[in-house]
């Protein structure tokens, strides 16, 4: 097929790579403009652009797509279909209808669950034990198009959003290849809109830990809010990021107030949470410091039992 590919982050690269290895003709690759990144705010190309340039593919990075000129350029590629994987913008109707086979999207959830910008993160945060990838025919709604194919996978009990996203990106590439190969045979299935859930963009404040939550919920949020916004509390007025945590099975006969440090020695920091549960912190990062294991953290920070994390 002649394809226009639209994607931006690293998670979209395996799909683009799969299209190349399957022998499709990539007539254009659309991605977001280069943006400042890192401490020096150096202008940095998106991963999809880097891959496309390395493989000699034509790259387009429009700053605006809702213009007559942008639509005319898009149509001029004369592709069979547009493939969209985490492009990062809502496409106007003209883009969705520009080519004979329309636009196919690779979405990293089992639609209709977790429609929106951050399906992988919210699936973990909300305690899901399985997720997957969906290919769908795009329409004007937010991830509301008819389902083409789906592939399901288990979420590991300690798997973070970064780790799961990496796995799903390759699963998505395989599913995309299967979708295009069987395109004429697949009967699109309308979504059950009544069963839909949302996975909106995350905000910094989403990462604030409420120690009154049960330990299991806190652990899921630590796993799910990576790399952004991260999960954090405060210790002596400084932000304390929690990068790895687990539910502690030891039960206290008389629970302390949520946020109370119950134990802080060696490789263990135990903190009281809601519903008489306890969380064990394994990797932490105090404001101005590097991320480190508990033992290394306690060598530099004299955290003691009885103190409180906010």
Count of structural domains, the chain: 2
Pick from 55, 49, 45, 57: nearest CA to 12: 49
Q: Is the pLDDT of residue 245 over 90?
A: yes
pLDDT for the residue numbered 250: 74
Phi, psi for 268 (deg, rounded to 5):
-130, 130
Do 124 and 218 belong together in one domain? no
* Residue partners of 59: CB distance under 8 A and separation at least 6: 28, 29, 30, 31, 49, 52, 53
pLDDT digit string, tens, across residues 133-165: 999 999 999 999 999 999 999 999 999 999 999
Residue 110: per-residue pLDDT: 98
Q: How far apart are CA 207 and CA 218, in angstroms?
A: 10
Same domain, 233 and 151: no
Mean pLDDT of the chain: 96
Position 253 confidence tier, pLDDT thresholds 50, 70, 90: low
Query: Residue 50 is part of a domain; what is its CATH number?
Result: 3.40.50.170
Q: Which residues pair with 268 in a beta bridge?
A: 265
Report residue 36: phi and psi, to 5°.
Answer: -65, 140
Report the share of the chain in percent with pLDDT over 70: 99
- 28 lies in a domain? yes
Domain that holds residue 97: 2-195
Residue 302 backbone phi and psi in degrees, to 5: -85, 60
Q: Label residue 251 by pLDDT band (50, 70, 90).
A: low
Strands 268-272 and 261-265, by their bridges, are antiparallel
Segment 201-214 mean pLDDT = 97
Q: Are 161 and 277 contained in the same domain?
A: no
Does the residue 306 lie in any domain?
A: no
Residue 173 tokens read as: 């590439």
Dump pLDDT digits (tens) for 62-106.
999 999 999 999 999 999 999 999 999 999 999 999 999 999 999
């Amino acid at each position: 097929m002649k394809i226009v590919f639209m994607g931006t982050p690293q998670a979209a690269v395996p799909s683009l790579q799969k299209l190349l290895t399957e022998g499709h003709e990539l007539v254009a690759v659309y991605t977001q403009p280069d943006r400042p990144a890192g401490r020096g705010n150096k202008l940095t190309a998106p991963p999809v652009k880097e891959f496309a340039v390395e493989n000699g593919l034509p790259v387009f990075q429009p700053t605006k797509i809702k213009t007559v000129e942008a639509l005319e350029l898009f149509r001029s590629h004369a592709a069979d279909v547009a493939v969209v994987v985490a492009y990062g913008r809502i496409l106007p109707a003209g883009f969705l209808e520009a080519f004979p086979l329309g636009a196919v999207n690779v979405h990293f959830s089992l639609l209709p669950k977790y429609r929106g910008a951050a399906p992988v993160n919210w699936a973990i945060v909300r305690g899901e034990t399985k997720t997957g990838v969906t290919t769908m025919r795009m329409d004007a709604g937010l991830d509301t198009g008819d389902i083409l194919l789906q592939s399901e996978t288990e979420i590991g009990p300690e798997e973070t959003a970064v780790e799961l996203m990496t796995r799903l990106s390759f699963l998505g590439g395989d599913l995309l290849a299967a979708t295009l190969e069987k395109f004429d045979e697949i009967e699109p299935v309308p979504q059950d809109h009544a069963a839909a859930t949302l996975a909106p963009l995350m905000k910094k404040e989403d990462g604030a830990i409420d120690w009154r939550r049960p330990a299991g919920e806190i652990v899921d949020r630590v796993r799910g809010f990576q790399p952004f916004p991260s999960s954090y509390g405060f210790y002596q007025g400084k932000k304390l990021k929690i990068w790895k945590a687990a539910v502690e099975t030891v039960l206290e006969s008389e629970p302390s107030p949520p946020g109370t440090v119950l134990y802080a020695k060696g490789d263990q920091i135990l903190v009281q949470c809601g519903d008489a549960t306890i969380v064990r912190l394994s990797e932490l990062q105090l404001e101005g410091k590097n991320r480190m294991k508990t033992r290394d953290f306690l060598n530099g920070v004299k955290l003691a039992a009885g103190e409180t994390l906010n």
